[in-house]
Structure 1
Amino acid sequence: MTVDQGPVPIRRLRSPRTGWTALVVVAGLVVCGGLLYDAVAVRTGHRARPWRAETAHRLATLHLDDPVVLISAGVAVLIGALLLGLAVAPGMRRWLPLRQPGAVIDRSGVAALLARRADRLDGVSSLKVKVRRARTTVTMAGTADPAEVQRELRAELARVPLAGEHRLDVRTGKVRR
């Protein structure tokens, strides 16, 4: 005899870029926090930290062809390229979590599965399937009974072991692609 453990807790999917983004944000906060602390200290009448005074003096006397300036510019370009790469890296929004921890399925795969099942039904001339995180919307055109189509698609969707509650809405109307 098996005992149902209840609903599986859904863990939000995290993109591999999340760790790098957190690292860049923490580093930026540390650097900006140090600079802000020193700027506030100078504004309140205290002396500037020796590193700040030395940095200001060096920046005022350095030339653009100095190796320190060139290396600093190269590091700034690398950090900018890293941030740009993190910004355009694919996230995890196209994946839906499954009941088994760590397992995912592509939303377009679920949409193709439902579309293939609906194409086998009599009276469905065209349809559009839109799969979101907690809801799938099917817009169909044809003479098929929407309630029958919904029953068939719900049975097909039940075969996919999605981790959370997933709603299925079947609508009739013009299908816009």
Structure 2
Amino acid sequence: MGYRGSYGRVSAYQREKRTSPRPVTAQPPAPRVVTRWILSRPETLTEIEQLRLKAVLTNCPELDALTGHVRSFAHMLTERQGERLPQWLDAVRQDDLPSLHTLAAGIDRDRDAVIAGLTLPWSSGVVEGHVNRIKMLKRQMFGRAGFNLLRKRVLLAP
């Protein structure tokens, strides 16, 4: 019997859909998860994460190339090997990854500063942190009180 509009009756199509086995396929990992795997040190990933990342990279050669460039840059950054930057930029330009070409062009505009940042032990991070804190306080105080109160908050805030 087919579906006639009354409750309790099921059409042959619905019965077939209910009873037919669905193929079991693994759900692909979310982009955020894959990004975390790529940006993590390979030795910190679990064996399952390494295998799943390897499967993703096997199916997407562009992502595999991107992963190589990201990890190479991370190694250059952590080991302070700024002198390797020109070779890294050349390798990036050889691959067909437009977003990395944009990054490479931006780095090229200020190549000497980037090499110094990747090589030298000094950092302006503390100063940038204070500037960020002052800007946050200024945004919080916008339209609320005068300059004197803002000055006191900047000087007294931790």
Q: Give the TM-score normalised by the residue count of structure 2.
A: 0.27
**Structure of higher RCO (CA pairs closer than 8 Å, 6+ residues apart):** 1
